Amino acid sequence: MTVTVQPKALTNYKARDFRMLIDGNWVKTEDGSTLERVAPGHGVIVSRYQAGTKPDAERAIAAARRAFDDGPWPNMTGAERSNLLLKAADLIAARADELAHLDAIESGKPISQAKAELGGAVDIWRYAAALARDLHGESYNTLGQGTLGVVLREAIGVVSIITPWNFPFLIVSQKLPFALAAGCTTVVKPSELTSGSTLVLGEILAEAGIPSGVVNIVTGTGPEVGAPMTTHPDVDMVSFTGSTGVGRLTMANAAQTLKKVSLELGGKNPQIVFPDANLDEFVDAAVFGAYFNAGECCNAGSRLILHRDIADEVTARIAELSKKVKVGDPLDPSTQVGAIITPLHLEKIAGYVSGARDAGADVALGGEALDLGLGQFMAPTILSGVKPEMAVAREEVFGPVLSVLTFETTDEAIRIANSIDYGLSAGVWSRDFDTCLTIGRRVRAGTIWMNTFMDGASELPFGGYKQSGLGRELGRHAVEDYTETKTLNMHIGARTNWWMPR
Ligand code: NDP
């Protein structure tokens, strides 16, 4: 039996009305139309955002363009930008509880997790602030007496930032401070389902002293607001996190004007487990990897590849621990798995489970939606006997559903791990160093965890191989992603003429 935490009605909560931030002004759409967000864990309207339109996106792009071409931002010193980003980090920390609460009610994630994400986000803003002072190019003093070569790093220009609903504040924080550190100006479009914390961030950045027009935030749907942000000729770069399908469309749109594109897309991440692993630690990591953020996580460890000798025992132990995970009210501090983002998405998850059952997999645990009176929830689910060719083993379910596959040899495990289109992350569990390193080198993914899962740090780059994305976020090169290089080829002294009298 799943342990459930009954959601409490949000009786005293007044839905918040948000406006968009364009050129330093908080504005409504022309016709005043709004989008309402129903809290997935409580079933009531908690936020109203402006239903932005293409002209709103165009106004925001024009403001960002002006702020880049005429404004002080790209010409400030690294130290000046760094100080403003540090101030923003302090203000985010001061409003962390409010931001975490917004993320929890709008996305349905547990409040304890939302608070931890805010802590991580503050650290990222501080890290990006440090990098703002370290951005530098190269010089070449070896090109001959008459030449000095200098390679500058310049801000790329106007950046469109498009984010999904699963980590609303964290994902914008993996992009925006690095773009700002580089001296770029931006237009940000959060998911239409979870725009609240990004809009509060707009207030924070204004208070911190980021000049008008440097950060514009437009709310609305992807096709209406996001699409023009990927095609407009005044945008120099698009930084997108979301599904592989929309990522592909974004790249095609951006290709019309050859914009730089950075894509963080889906994942179907394997955890490969050998018999010599510390199984106590692995069982906990398997449960965490599968159900963290209700499995609505690009990094979810949704594909276990267990050595055949331990598969039955380990699956049984994961099922036992899964039954103890608390599912329910996102605002209850003890909740570990919150609500599913929308009723439609819950249907999609359930469809994957029934499809797997039809294809011959066994439902070892869960498999059903949970009726907790308010909102929509899914029981932690384990599917055993999954074969590599099944859809549930290859596609992103984006729900608390764990697929268990088995292997006999290391080569077979690597073949299964690499047999899909995604390559975001992977885990390997073994006490043998050679085994871990072999998997680490041969599995094609942007991050490989060894005897742990889903750990991260601002210093460590994050991103995907194959159809999990393009480019890397975080790490010391993250700021460079938002720059162009410019070569200064400088001549000193007398130049040798090209034209010679004959
Ligand atoms: P979507 O791709 O549906 O949406 C992502 C963003 O793109 C949203 O803001 C959306 O707007 C916008 N969008 C939709 N259509 C267009 C369009 N035509 N042009 C421009 N923008 C558009 O993803 P979800 O929001 O459903 O998020 C879940 C996905 O995100 C998963 O696949 C997950 O793996 C991925 N993800 C990847 C991460 C990574 O770092 N690799 C991290 C987190 C999530 P709107 O929805 O408001 O209409």
Residue 462 DSSP label: B
Q: Which tokens belong to 147? A: 């030449």
Of 178, 208, 224, the C-alpha closest to 20 is 224
Alpha carbon 305 to chain centroid distance? 25
* Residues 6+ away with beta carbon under 8 Å from 353: 363, 367, 381, 383, 392, 401
Angle between helix 78-94 and helix 111-132 axes, rounded to 10 deg: 170
Long-range contacts of 473-477 (CB under 8 A, 24+ apart): 473/174, 473/175, 473/178, 473/262, 473/264, 474/124, 474/127, 474/174, 476/131, 476/134
SS3 readout for 485-501: EEEEEEECCCCCCCCCC
Q: Which tokens belong to 369? A: 């939606």
Per-residue model confidence as pLDDT tens digits over 327-362 = 999 999 999 999 999 999 999 999 999 999 999 999
477: CA distance to ligand 1 center in Å?
24
d(CA 135, CA 76): 13
- For residue 255, pLDDT over 90 is answered with yes
Catalytic residue from among 192, 264, 296, 396: 264
Which residues have any ligand 1 atom within 6 Å of their CB?
A: 162-167, 171, 189, 191-192, 221-223, 226-227, 230, 241-243, 246, 249-250, 264-267, 298, 396, 398, 424, 464, 469
d(CA 262, CA 230): 12
Work out which ligand 1 atom sits closest to the CA atom of 245. 2
Kindly report the backbone phi and psi dihedral angles of residue 154, in degrees, each rounded to the nearest multiple of 5, phi listed first.
-120, 150
Mutating to test ligand 1, I would choose from 124, 230, 246, 253 the residue with most ligand atoms within 8 A of its C-beta, which is 246
Instruction: Assess whether 298 carries a catalytic annotation.
Output: yes
- For residue 15, pLDDT over 90 is answered with yes
pLDDT of residue 495: 83
192: CA distance to ligand 1 center in Å?
10
Q: Which tokens belong to 82? A: 């760094």
55 burial (CB, 10 Å; 0-12 / 13-18 / 19+) is exposed
Half-sphere exposure of 52 (CA within 13 A, CB side): 36
* Mean pLDDT in residue range 228-255: 98
- For residue 497, pLDDT over 90 is answered with no
Strand, helix or coil at 263?
strand
Express as a percent the part of the chain with pLDDT over 90. 96
- For residue 12, pLDDT over 90 is answered with no
Residues 457/460/463/464 CA torsion (nearest 10 deg): -110
SS3 readout for 316-363: HHHHHHHCCCEEECCCCCCCCECCCCCHHHHHHHHHHHHHHHHHCCEE
- Taking phi over 0 as left and psi of -120 to 50 as alpha, with beta for the rest, 258 belongs to left
Which residue type is seen at 197?
S
d(CA 324, CA 327): 9
pTM: 0.97
165: CA distance to ligand 1 center in Å?
7
Of 256, 60, 27, 79, the C-alpha closest to 158 is 60
Which residue type is seen at 264?
E
Given a contact cutoff of 8 angstroms between Cβ atoms, the answer to whether 238 and 250 are in contact is yes
Work out which ligand 1 atom sits closest to the CA atom of 242. 30
114: CA distance to ligand 1 center in Å?
19
d(CA 266, CA 245): 9
Q: How confident is residue 472, by pLDDT bands cut at 50, 70 and 90?
A: very high
Q: Which tokens belong to 247? A: 């990522």
Catalytic residue from among 117, 298, 396, 480: 298
For residue 272, list its beta bridge partners. Answer: 305, 428
Q: Which tokens belong to 120? A: 């991580």
- For residue 392, pLDDT over 90 is answered with yes
Given a contact cutoff of 8 angstroms between Cβ atoms, the answer to whether 443 and 435 are in contact is no
Instruction: Assess whether 368 carries a catalytic annotation.
Output: no
Per-residue model confidence as pLDDT tens digits over 108-121 = 999 999 999 999 99
pLDDT of residue 492: 86
**How open is the CA angle 325-326-330, to the nearest 5 degrees?**
135
By DSSP bridging, strand 425-429 and strand 447-450 are parallel
- For residue 502, pLDDT over 90 is answered with no
Per-residue model confidence as pLDDT tens digits over 202-226 = 999 999 999 999 999 999 999 999 9
Of 187, 208, 210, the C-alpha closest to 198 is 187
* Mean pLDDT in residue range 255-270: 98
d(CA 180, CA 83): 12
Strand, helix or coil at 77?
coil
149: CA distance to ligand 1 center in Å?
42
Half-sphere exposure of 77 (CA within 13 A, CB side): 3
d(CA 114, CA 121): 10
- For residue 453, pLDDT over 90 is answered with yes
CA distances, 85 to each of 78, 104, 160, 182, 456 (Å): 10, 25, 19, 11, 21
With b meaning 16 or more CB within 10 Å and e meaning fewer, what string describes 408-422? eebeebbebbbebeb
- For residue 494, pLDDT over 90 is answered with no
Strand, helix or coil at 465?
strand
Residue nearest to atom 25 of ligand 1 (CA): 164
Which residue type is seen at 336?
Q
- For residue 264, pLDDT over 90 is answered with yes
Given a contact cutoff of 8 angstroms between Cβ atoms, the answer to whether 205 and 153 are in contact is no
- For residue 486, pLDDT over 90 is answered with yes
pLDDT of residue 335: 98
